Amino acid sequence: MSIIKSQNVNEIIRKTLGIINPKIIVHGEIVGYMLYKMLECDGRYSEQEPLDYTMLGILHDIGLYREDGLSNVADFETAGSPWPHSIYGFLFLKYLSPIGDQAEVVLYHHLDYNRYGMVKSKYAHITECLALADKMDNFMRCKHTKIKDDYFSQYRNIRFSGNALDLFHRAEKEYGIMAKLASGEYRNELDEIMSHSVFSEKYKRGFLEMLVYSIDFRSEHTVVHTMSTVHFAMQLGRLMKVGAKDLHNMYYGALLHDLGKVAIPLDILESPGRLGEEEMRVMRAHVRITEMILSDLVDEDVLQIAARHHEKLDGTGYHKRLSEKDLTLPQQIVAVADMLSALYGKRSYKDSFDSSKIKSILQEDAEKHKISKPTVDCLMEHYDAVVKEYEEQKDETIGLYLRIKQQYEEIGKKLEEIVP
């Protein structure tokens, strides 16, 4: 049962990350395109391998999305340390994506070539090609300002691989890469390349989960929110005997419901007190942004589940003020699951509520005809079992978050020894 096409997974990633800083996703696509053409020219790889490495190229700077206020991709080539985003990107891809085995390519893409001997990687050739493509695009962005015209002759086999540069020149001669980059034609060709990707359902889920986690992990207060919403929604759906297709739609709708929070500033997500009127207006915009990202890219049922999780049965919700007659059972279940997740979880402005308070709030809203009473009644009947199973899964997610934080520090210290 497939409700999201493989090429649409790429487009969801592109639109979501492009909201934070379109320059970074454009840079990633250019790097991914150049890397693909180099590997195609090289001719030593299977049909699928270049596609996987192209995804790594597109996502090689995903660690940058952990930060607010990003403005200039090329600054990481010419000033400051490139390691924080390289390490986070590596860890996100290693633990959260379906191509985690190859994620090491991203970790070392800013390592000078003459230091490659200090690390052992079975993906050295790919890393060389990715690093060269990254430098090529940054050179074009910074030409005549921050990077000297003789950069590639001066730093051959020092900052980048001479063999990778030679391969790029062969690919340029064969495919006309630079002309396509200049005209923008590369974008259509990249779409065509990625349209050949046929992702399994597990593969698609993996990339979408990686995208969601990369957003949730921006703040320690949102680490488990999406995961808990998905879990509660699926538990309630099964208990209420929702059909297989609706369950499938609910999974993706719950998974993608907060994509729009990628556009919400961290100071609002982590506000220590109740949000003011203007801050609340900004926060509520995440629903419209989620709808904009997913429109025409997912099944309509999935779109509406994701976009309607803050609607209320009495018409007082947002962002369209719909009422009960407009809201399907799957949409109502996910709305309850989202609310349960918010009440159960610890946030910047509150500790997690105890069970009695959570039950009281949900039952009160059900009685006021704001949320689905049958769903809340089902939850009350099975509350302890639903929460117990969630707690086991929550520990895994928090453990993963803490492992990423710990390994970030460990890898950073290791790289300090390699790059003083």
Residue 258 has pLDDT above 70, yes or no: yes
User: Which backbone phi and psi does 59 adopt, to 5 degrees?
Assistant: -100, 10
Average pLDDT over residues 248-260: 97
For domain 219-403, which architecture applies? Orthogonal Bundle (1.10)
Other beta carbons within 10 Å of 241: 8
- Mean pLDDT (the chain) is 89
Predicted pLDDT of residue 70 = 47
Token digits of residue 79: 């000033």
Chain-centre distance for alpha carbon 292: 16
**Cα–Cα distances in Å, from 383 out to 125, 174, 359, 397?**
53, 63, 9, 21
Amino acid (1-letter code) at residue 168? F
Residue 26 has pLDDT above 80, yes or no: yes
What is 6-198's CATH topology?
Hypothetical protein af1432 (1.10.3210)
Predicted pLDDT of residue 69 = 43
Residue 38 has pLDDT above 50, yes or no: yes
Burial category of 135 from C-beta neighbours within 10 Å (exposed 0-12, middle 13-18, buried 19 and up): buried
Predicted pLDDT of residue 419 = 78
Predicted pLDDT of residue 222 = 78
Q: Which segments of the chain belong to CATH 1.10.3210.10?
A: 219-403
Other beta carbons within 10 Å of 387: 19
User: Which backbone phi and psi does 199 adopt, to 5 degrees?
Assistant: -80, 140
Predicted pLDDT of residue 150 = 78
Predicted pLDDT of residue 81 = 79
User: Which backbone phi and psi does 79 adopt, to 5 degrees?
Assistant: -155, 150
Average pLDDT over residues 275-279: 91
Average pLDDT over residues 177-197: 91
Residue 379 has pLDDT above 90, yes or no: yes
Predicted pLDDT of residue 76 = 47
Task: Count Cβ neighbours within 10 Å for each residue of 325-342 and write b for 16 or more, e otherwise.
Answer: eebeebbbbbbbbbbbbb
As a whole number of angstroms, the distance between CA 385 and CA 61 comes to 41
Burial category of 235 from C-beta neighbours within 10 Å (exposed 0-12, middle 13-18, buried 19 and up): buried
pTM of the entire predicted model: 0.89
Is residue 348 within 8 Å of 270, Cβ to Cβ? yes
Predicted pLDDT of residue 347 = 64
Predicted pLDDT of residue 41 = 96
As a whole number of angstroms, the distance between CA 371 and CA 311 comes to 9
Is residue 236 within 8 Å of 386, Cβ to Cβ? yes
Share of the chain above pLDDT 70, in %: 93
**Cα–Cα distances in Å, from 38 out to 56, 122, 222?**
14, 18, 39
Token digits of residue 418: 């390699």
pLDDT in tens, 64-92: 876 544 444 445 444 467 888 999 999 99
Average pLDDT over residues 48-71: 81
Average pLDDT over residues 282-300: 96
Sign of CA dihedral 250, 254, 259, 260: positive
User: Which backbone phi and psi does 272 adopt, to 5 degrees?
Assistant: -75, -10
pLDDT in tens, 217-241: 877 777 889 999 999 999 999 999 9
More confident residue, 2 or 267: 267
pLDDT in tens, 92-133: 999 999 999 999 999 999 999 998 888 888 899 999 999 999
**Cα–Cα distances in Å, from 256 out to 6, 77, 152, 415?**
16, 33, 43, 35
Residue 146 has pLDDT above 80, yes or no: no
Q: 57 Cβ partners below 8 Å, 6+ apart?
A: 28, 31, 32, 33, 34, 35, 36, 130, 133
Average pLDDT over residues 385-399: 88
